[in-house]
Protein backbone atom coordinates (compact mmCIF):
# COMPACT_ATOMS: atom_id res chain seq x y z
CA UNK A 1 0.00 0.00 0.00
CA UNK A 2 1.50 3.34 -1.04
CA UNK A 3 1.38 6.65 0.84
CA UNK A 4 -1.84 7.92 -0.78
CA UNK A 5 -3.64 4.63 -0.10
CA UNK A 6 -2.53 4.59 3.54
CA UNK A 7 -3.62 8.18 4.17
CA UNK A 8 -6.99 7.77 2.44
CA UNK A 9 -7.59 4.44 4.17
CA UNK A 10 -6.86 5.98 7.56
CA UNK A 11 -9.30 8.83 6.86
CA UNK A 12 -12.09 6.53 5.70
CA UNK A 13 -11.57 4.15 8.61
CA UNK A 14 -11.47 6.86 11.26
CA UNK A 15 -14.01 9.31 9.88
CA UNK A 16 -16.50 7.47 7.67
CA UNK A 17 -16.78 3.86 8.74
CA UNK A 18 -19.40 3.18 11.38
CA UNK A 19 -17.56 0.03 12.44
CA UNK A 20 -13.85 0.83 12.46
CA UNK A 21 -13.04 -2.78 13.34
CA UNK A 22 -13.82 -3.77 9.73
CA UNK A 23 -10.87 -4.19 7.40
CA UNK A 24 -10.71 -1.73 4.51
CA UNK A 25 -9.49 -3.78 1.56
CA UNK A 26 -8.29 -1.89 -1.56
CA UNK A 27 -11.13 -3.30 -3.66
CA UNK A 28 -13.93 -3.04 -1.09
CA UNK A 29 -17.05 -1.46 -2.66
CA UNK A 30 -17.31 1.72 -0.57
CA UNK A 31 -20.39 3.23 -2.20
CA UNK A 32 -22.20 -0.04 -2.76
CA UNK A 33 -21.74 -1.10 0.87
CA UNK A 34 -22.75 2.32 2.19
CA UNK A 35 -19.38 3.01 3.77
CA UNK A 36 -19.24 6.28 1.83
CA UNK A 37 -22.60 8.03 1.46
CA UNK A 38 -23.34 11.48 -0.01
CA UNK A 39 -22.22 13.35 3.11
CA UNK A 40 -19.18 11.10 3.42
CA UNK A 41 -18.31 11.81 -0.19
CA UNK A 42 -18.32 15.55 0.51
CA UNK A 43 -16.08 15.01 3.53
CA UNK A 44 -13.78 12.77 1.53
CA UNK A 45 -13.46 15.24 -1.36
CA UNK A 46 -12.69 18.07 1.06
CA UNK A 47 -10.07 15.89 2.77
CA UNK A 48 -8.44 14.91 -0.54
CA UNK A 49 -8.22 18.52 -1.67
CA UNK A 50 -6.72 19.68 1.63
CA UNK A 51 -4.42 16.72 2.25
CA UNK A 52 -3.04 16.29 -1.27
CA UNK A 53 -3.46 19.80 -2.70
CA UNK A 54 -5.58 18.61 -5.62
CA UNK A 55 -8.82 19.99 -7.02
CA UNK A 56 -11.64 17.52 -7.48
CA UNK A 57 -13.85 19.17 -10.09
CA UNK A 58 -17.44 18.18 -10.83
CA UNK A 59 -16.22 16.16 -13.82
CA UNK A 60 -14.34 13.88 -11.39
CA UNK A 61 -17.35 13.28 -9.14
CA UNK A 62 -18.23 9.99 -10.78
CA UNK A 63 -19.10 6.85 -8.84
CA UNK A 64 -16.29 4.90 -10.48
CA UNK A 65 -13.72 7.36 -9.04
CA UNK A 66 -14.88 6.72 -5.47
CA UNK A 67 -16.09 3.11 -5.58
CA UNK A 68 -12.96 1.59 -4.01
CA UNK A 69 -9.81 2.65 -2.21
CA UNK A 70 -7.87 1.72 -5.35
CA UNK A 71 -10.09 4.01 -7.46
CA UNK A 72 -9.67 6.93 -5.05
CA UNK A 73 -5.91 6.42 -4.98
CA UNK A 74 -5.79 6.38 -8.79
CA UNK A 75 -7.85 9.58 -8.95
CA UNK A 76 -5.62 11.42 -6.46
CA UNK A 77 -2.46 10.20 -8.20
CA UNK A 78 -3.79 11.33 -11.58
CA UNK A 79 -4.89 14.74 -10.29
CA UNK A 80 -1.55 15.26 -8.54
CA UNK A 81 0.40 14.39 -11.68
CA UNK A 82 -1.68 16.82 -13.76
CA UNK A 83 -1.03 19.54 -11.19
CA UNK A 84 2.73 19.07 -11.40
CA UNK A 85 2.82 19.48 -15.18
For 18-64, how does the pLDDT look when each residue is reduced to its tens digit (9 = 90+)?
A: 776 777 999 999 999 999 999 999 999 999 999 999 999 999 999 99
CATH number for the domain spanning 27: value is 1.10.1200.10
Number of H helices, E strands in the chain: 4, 0
Q: Which of 73, 62, 81 is nearest to 25 (CA)?
A: 73
Range of the structural domain that residue 77 is part of: 3-83
Asked if residue 54 lies in contact with residue 79, where contact means CB atoms within 8 angstroms, the answer is yes
Residue 83 has pLDDT above 90, yes or no: no
Q: What is the pTM of this model?
A: 0.92
Total of domains in the chain: 1
Residue 30 buriedness (CB in 10 A; 0-12 / 13-18 / 19+): buried
As to burial, measured by CB atoms within 10 angstroms (0-12 exposed, 13-18 middle, 19+ buried), residue 53 is: exposed
Amino acid sequence: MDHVSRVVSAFITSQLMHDSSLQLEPDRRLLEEGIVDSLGLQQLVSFLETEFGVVVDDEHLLPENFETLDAITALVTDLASRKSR
